[in-house]
Structure 1
Amino acid sequence: MANMQMVFLGTSSAAPTAERGLSSIAIMREGELLLFDAGEGMQRNFIKAGIGMNRKMKVFVSHMHADHCAGLLGLLQTMALLGRERPLDIYGQPRLKEFLLENMRIINFHLTFEIRIHVITKEGVVAEEGDYTVSCCEGQHSVPTLAFRLDERDRPGMFDVKKAKKLGVPEGEIYSRLQHGRDIKYKGKVIRSADVVGPARQGRKIGISGDTRPTKKLEKFFSGCDVLVFESTYSHDKLAKALETSHSTATEAATLAKKARAKKLFLTHFSARYEETSSLVKEASAIHKDVEAAEDLKAVDIPYPK
């Protein structure tokens, strides 16, 4: 089992407030950090959260607006100053590579670690490990933008020790082989994995919208998410402003989450006009049954589906 925790490092929209920094979400999973967006100044909350600067890490940038990408420069420099040694993988659109390399040239700072920039040119899987993938989907914003989804692969089913013992299977390596789907031959008798292992157990699915209008495409992309983080820049009485700026309202975020059958919805990316967000949560909760407002440094444990 892999522990998973999500920490909100910045939850404001274009301008920070005294309580909210700019967009950034960290997902910590089995010692690895997956960072989604890095708004200006986000490394301060990164440090406050005690995440650690030298762990295995991937960074995914949704689009080229400063409140989502400019903090990456400061984060890289801070990591170098603190002696990071591990390579760092960064994923984003073609202009992200240009942005990073040109600014590093102008500022003239040097890294103590390798950065591997992965240019995203199409939708689909952009990063893959043995037990999870990260995929992207186009959103609808004032500039090209991407939404991301983390999908864990299914885990092996529950191993029935009583059945195994009844079949005479000794404890040890054979148990592991059976649990991972391999049939075995023991004392001349074939024992199938399916005889002692239950059905595969579903992994977790986490969706992160970036900045976007709600679309049918995103509704399909986020289908069945255990947790969906969706931008909620405005309340629905500001729909005209949301349309003008290519953002979403709390009502629209909740409507999409409900249609996508997302189990849990976190609202984020709040306009600085909202000193508190209870009205936005109330608005969304009239549509979706499980809604929370993201807050800077809020940490959320994400359990496996029941």
Structure 2
Amino acid sequence: MYINILGSAAGLPSKKRHTQAIILDMVDELNEYFLIDVGEAFQHRLLNTSIKPSKINHIFITHLHGDHIYGLPGFLSSRAHQGGEGKPLKIYGPKGLSEWLTTTFQVSETILNYPVEIVEIEDGSFISIKDVTIEVKTLDHNIESFLYVFKENDQKGALNVLKLKEIGIRPGPIYSEIKNSDTFVHDGVIYDTNDFLGPVIKGRKVCIHGDTRPLQSEVYFDLLKDADCVVHEATFLDHEYEKAYSYYHSEIHDVLSIQKDLRVKHYIFTHISNRYEEEFISNFIKTLPSNVSVAHDYFKYEIARKK
């Protein structure tokens, strides 16, 4: 599993940063990519990767500000001619998303060659896709904005091959059958499969925010606790707390201070204002803890499977 930041700028792009687009790469796990927000120039960024548009089957929109959605109609149109023909796509986002897309396609007379389903979400929405569940939480922005919490289902532990051999079961297809069963029979004896499995493999958790002021509530903190990765906006980097608050955005030190006890393994901050020169950002990164990253376009982070 990987986080791939294809657009890391705030509202206004710069020469080196494009507006928001995040890929949650789950090809190894689900054979698809989850796309979170689709800012302008997303298609151009995609051309410089190996990501196949036809493997983007689910899109999650955090909110309806232009720097998060203006690339969506163009991408949907292009996907139709990049291996997406006939492959259904589902889009989740705030109320108003369906009206905006429908109007855009009607006015431009755009016709897609694959089915699109738009699901308008709300606080507390719960989504299930294959072996992943997604919880939705409303954030604190000047329009409706959401946090998406992606959580893998827990998996059974590894088979204890030595223990199976001890009771006379040799390697073969039977091992897979045993792992997928609750009990199994060998030489007339009924065995509990759990006695032949290692510890449960805990699913990974990734929390991806839309634009927001830093939140402080127990419900919110519970969603983030022990996350493998939290992606959060940091429009402001240089202790501009009051300005960040007045613009309904976040300052990086404020977020880290508020969330210091949540045992988050790694933070990725994106949505960086173009007021900061890249030299400043490079020097600023050196002051951060090792589990904190400030994203640039094409920033990639691996979220290793738990042992």
| Count of residue pairs brought into register by the alignment | 299
The Cα of 1:170 is off from its aligned counterpart by 3.1
Aligned position for 1:156: 156
- 3-state SS of paired residue (1:263): coil
Aligned-residue CA RMSD in angstroms? 1.7
Moved more, 159-168 or 253-262: 253-262
Is the counterpart of residue 304 in structure 1 residue 295 in structure 2?
A: no
Counterpart AA for 2:99:
E
Aligned position for 1:14: 11
Counterpart AA for 2:266:
K
Alpha-carbon distance in structure 1 between the residues aligned to 2:233 and 2:283: 15
Indicate conservation of the 8 Å contact 1:281/1:292, yes or no: yes
Deviations 1:97-120 (A, max 9, x none): 111101111111111211111111
Aligned position for 1:40: 40
Is the counterpart of residue 27 in structure 1 residue 24 in structure 2?
A: yes
Aligned position for 2:215: 215
Aligned position for 1:133: 133
Is the counterpart of residue 179 in structure 1 residue 179 in structure 2?
A: yes
Counterpart AA for 2:275:
R
Indicate conservation of the 8 Å contact 1:226/1:305, yes or no: no
Alpha-carbon distance in structure 1 between the residues aligned to 2:214 and 2:181: 40
Alpha-carbon distance in structure 1 between the residues aligned to 2:62 and 2:97: 10
Alpha-carbon distance in structure 2 between the residues aligned to 1:118 and 1:124: 10
Alpha-carbon distance in structure 1 between the residues aligned to 2:139 and 2:185: 52
Is the counterpart of residue 233 in structure 1 residue 235 in structure 2?
A: yes
Alpha-carbon distance in structure 2 between the residues aligned to 1:122 and 1:181: 37
- 3-state SS of paired residue (2:22): strand
Alpha-carbon distance in structure 2 between the residues aligned to 1:280 and 1:204: 29
- Contiguous gaps of at least 5 residues in structure 2: none
Indicate conservation of the 8 Å contact 1:13/1:270, yes or no: yes
Moved more, 234-243 or 63-72: 234-243
- 3-state SS of paired residue (2:80): helix
Indicate conservation of the 8 Å contact 2:35/2:56, yes or no: no
- 3-state SS of paired residue (1:259): coil
Is the counterpart of residue 281 in structure 1 residue 282 in structure 2?
A: no
User: Which residue, 250, 255, 270 being the options, matches 1:248?
Assistant: 250
Alpha-carbon distance in structure 1 between the residues aligned to 2:39 and 2:284: 23
Q: Which runs of 4+ in 1 moved over 6 A?
A: none
Alpha-carbon distance in structure 2 between the residues aligned to 1:42 and 1:166: 56
- 3-state SS of paired residue (2:257): helix
Indicate conservation of the 8 Å contact 1:61/1:69, yes or no: yes
The Cα of 1:56 is off from its aligned counterpart by 4.7
- 3-state SS of paired residue (2:53): coil
Counterpart AA for 2:20:
S
Indicate conservation of the 8 Å contact 1:40/1:70, yes or no: yes
Moved more, 53-62 or 141-150: 53-62
The Cα of 1:207 is off from its aligned counterpart by 0.9
Indicate conservation of the 8 Å contact 1:206/1:228, yes or no: yes
Deviations 1:61-91 (A, max 9, x none): 0001000111101111221243521111100
Aligned position for 1:104: 105
Aligned position for 2:2: 5
Alpha-carbon distance in structure 2 between the residues aligned to 1:160 and 1:200: 13
| Change in 2 beyond 3 A, CA 1:163/1:82 | closer
| Change in 2 beyond 3 A, CA 1:209/1:280 | farther
Counterpart AA for 2:237:
S
Aligned position for 1:271: 273
**TM-score where L is the length of structure 2:** 0.92
Identity over aligned pairs, percent: 29
The Cα of 1:236 is off from its aligned counterpart by 4.2
Counterpart AA for 1:144:
E
Indicate conservation of the 8 Å contact 1:178/1:196, yes or no: no
- Contiguous gaps of at least 5 residues in structure 1: none
Alpha-carbon distance in structure 2 between the residues aligned to 1:70 and 1:275: 25
Indicate conservation of the 8 Å contact 2:239/2:253, yes or no: no
- 3-state SS of paired residue (2:143): coil
